[in-house]
């Protein structure tokens, strides 16, 4: 039996491939073998809004508008600098980078615990050191071994221990808990990568930025490709929101864990932001 996210993922893929035709709710429901009424309820449970409203967030014009509107917000965010904690949808995240010596040793003497669990965006792998979370990545059944091998390759000298119970608790804290405790991230990367990842932490929920705009705000306007490479190398998915970076045209661009998953993340948090604003500012009554 498919999980809610697998059904949503299939629906997203269908809409993305047939966007020109503007598929109806009935057509989308038929593609995922559900009744329109059930798909409507599933969307509301997963995203908090109706499918019609959700589909608006998949429109390139909406992405372009968000790119334009994000600029003043980002100017403020970047003006305060890259050190210290950043707010991420009510989740306080702070980072601690490994020292150059530790980076060169690639985890020598470090114990890393890890485990697999579920999220609103599918199955994921999380790993952490004594300092904090060092990896969060998504995987389908066919890519489990690949992701595990990849993370071990990034910390080849570390001592690895599986801790499924703690992994499940941490994932619930990240994706489900209403009252979240502060989370620490343990980042291993070059100075430039760390600068880009810290910049991503300042992107507000529901906002997006282009690769070139991100490069400009890092005072490296000619380094768009290097910025894109650093974004793609992000070791901690979702918490460091690389899914919020789009091409200047408003197109999704690439995403390490699949474009459908990137689209799901963007549309879900934009929808949550939209519904939150609507609740905070209800329409006046005549």
**Separation CA 276–CA 144 (nearest Å):** 35
- Is there a catalytic annotation at residue 124? no
Residues 6+ apart with CB under 8 A from 102: 110, 188
Question: Which residues of the chain have a pLDDT value below 70?
Answer: 1, 20, 48-49, 54-101, 103, 177-181, 271-286
> Which residue, 136, 146, 125, 122, is CA-closest to 261?
122
At residue 137, the pLDDT reads 94
**Separation CA 206–CA 203 (nearest Å):** 9
pTM: 0.76
At residue 66, the pLDDT reads 63
Choosing from 55, 127, 167, 242, the catalytic residue is 242
User: DSSP 3-state assignment of 245?
Assistant: strand
Q: Which CATH number fits domain 64-246: 3.40.190.10, 2.40.30.10, 1.10.10.10, 3.20.20.140?
A: 1.10.10.10
pLDDT tens, position by position, 217-256: 889 999 999 999 999 999 999 999 999 998 887 778 889 8
**Separation CA 99–CA 163 (nearest Å):** 26
């Amino acid at each position: 039996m498919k999980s809610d996210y697998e059904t949503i993922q299939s629906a997203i893929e269908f809409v993305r491939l047939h966007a020109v035709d503007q598929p109806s709710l009935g057509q989308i429901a038929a593609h995922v073998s559900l009744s329109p009424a059930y798909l409507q309820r599933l969307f509301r449970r997963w995203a908090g809004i109706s499918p019609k409203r959700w589909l608006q967030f998949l429109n390139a014009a909406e992405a372009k508008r968000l790119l334009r509107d994000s600029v003043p917000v980002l100017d403020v965010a970047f003006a305060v600098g890259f050190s210290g904690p950043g707010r991420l949808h009510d989740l306080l995240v702070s980072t601690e980078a490994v020292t150059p010596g530790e980076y060169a040793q690639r985890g020598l003497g470090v114990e890393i615990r890890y485990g697999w669990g579920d999220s609103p965006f599918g199955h994921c792998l999380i790993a952490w050191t004594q300092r904090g979370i060092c990896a969060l990545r998504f995987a389908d059944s066919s890519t489990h071994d690949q992701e595990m091998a990849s993370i071990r390759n990034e910390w080849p000298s570390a001592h690895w221990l599986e801790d499924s119970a703690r992994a499940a608790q941490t994932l619930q804290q990240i994706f489900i808990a209403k009252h979240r405790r502060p989370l620490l991230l343990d980042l291993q990367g070059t100075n430039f990568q760390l600068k880009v990842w810290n910049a991503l932490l300042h992107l507000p929920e529901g906002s997006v930025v282009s690769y070139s705009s991100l490069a400009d705000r890092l005072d490296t306007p000619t380094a768009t490709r290097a910025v894109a490479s650093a974004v793609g190398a992000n070791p901690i998915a979702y918490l460091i929101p690389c899914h919020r970076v789009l091409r200047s045209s408003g197109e999704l661009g690439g995403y390490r864990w699949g474009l459908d998953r990137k689209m799901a993340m963007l549309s879900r948090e934009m929808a949550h932001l939209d519904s939150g604003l609507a609740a905070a500012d209800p329409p006046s009554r005549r």
